[in-house]
A = this chain, B = another copy of it.
Amino acid sequence: MKTLLLSLMAAASASAALVEKTVEYDQGGTTLEGFHVYDDAVSGKRPAVLVIHQWTGLTDYEKGRARQLAELGYNVFAADIYGKGVRPARPDAAKEAGKYKGDRDLFRARLKAGLEVLQKEEHTDTAKIAAIGYCFGGTGVLELARSGADIAGVVSFHGGLDAAEGKAAEKGGVKAKVLVLHGAEDPNVPTDQVLAFGKEMVEAGVDWQFVGYGGAVHAFTQKMAGNDNSKGAAYNEKADKRSWEAMKVFFAEIFE
């Protein structure tokens, strides 16, 4: 009987099946196409994570991260900021990202639309939602925090940290706890920007943490960035693993 029970448990664990769905939704008349994934072997409502993509839009990279998070037991939605089918390569990616960085109201509206999809999804424990983002998406989750979104926390992986003119975090206005995971040698996010961000967080009374990874430049979590630090963007295995662990520890705290 005991052996049977153990076998059944092992089978249940092994069968942990990810359920994946493409989700169309709308913001301001624009059709957006996100990616929803969760583990069917986990029952009921659970903590949830919103994933915001980098400048090339929602790609296999973000879907992979979403799957990793689903395997940890979270209900995950990778949002689409740009619009269905808008998945630009360089140099168009910079232009497309710039559109949202230059219009933070639009950026916030798109982020909020993605968050609402996750909030309404039946597997989400709405008291336990976090958002993570990469590069452009790192900027995005900070923007979500600055907007006063009622979520538990945000994690930026090598995101730009600059607030737009008149759009800095307001004193007492940030509900989310903030964790910034930064490549200490990232030329895209220079020291001045880091210091200005710290000042913004202090003045707004935010619960924030900043981690700088030695030896890491921009895009340190992304293998497709190559391994040449001199290009300013490169994969760094140590920083990738360490930042993922830091995120997990952060989630354990905020979802307690």
Q: Hey, which bits of chain A sit against chain B, CB under 8 A?
A: 178, 184-185, 191, 195, 198, 201-202, 205-215, 238, 241-242, 245-246, 249, 253
Integer count of this chain's copies in the complex = 2
User: Cβ of B185 and Cβ of A214 under 8 Å apart?
Assistant: no
Given known pairs A242-B253, A249-B246, A249-B249, the reply for A184 and B212 (CB within 8 Å) is no
User: Cβ of A198 and Cβ of B184 under 8 Å apart?
Assistant: yes
Q: Supply 6 further A-B pairs (C-beta < 8 A) apart from A191-B195, A207-B238, A212-B212.
A: A178-B214, A198-B212, A205-B215, A209-B213, A241-B253, A242-B253
Q: For A209, give its contact among B202, B209, B212 (CB under 8 Å).
A: B212
CA distance A211 to B211 in the complex (A): 4
Q: For A214, give its contact among B202, B212, B214, B241 (CB under 8 Å).
A: B202
User: Cβ of B214 and Cβ of A211 under 8 Å apart?
Assistant: no
Give the chain B neighbours of A242 by CB distance below 8 A: 209, 253
Q: Nearest Cβ in chain B — how far from A256, in angstroms?
A: 11
Give the chain B neighbours of A214 by CB distance below 8 A: 178, 198, 201-202, 206-210
User: Cβ of B253 and Cβ of A249 under 8 Å apart?
Assistant: no
Give the chain B neighbours of A178 by CB distance below 8 A: 214
User: Cβ of B202 and Cβ of A184 under 8 Å apart?
Assistant: yes
User: Cβ of A185 and Cβ of B209 under 8 Å apart?
Assistant: no
CA distance A185 to B209 in the complex (A): 11
User: Cβ of B210 and Cβ of A211 under 8 Å apart?
Assistant: yes
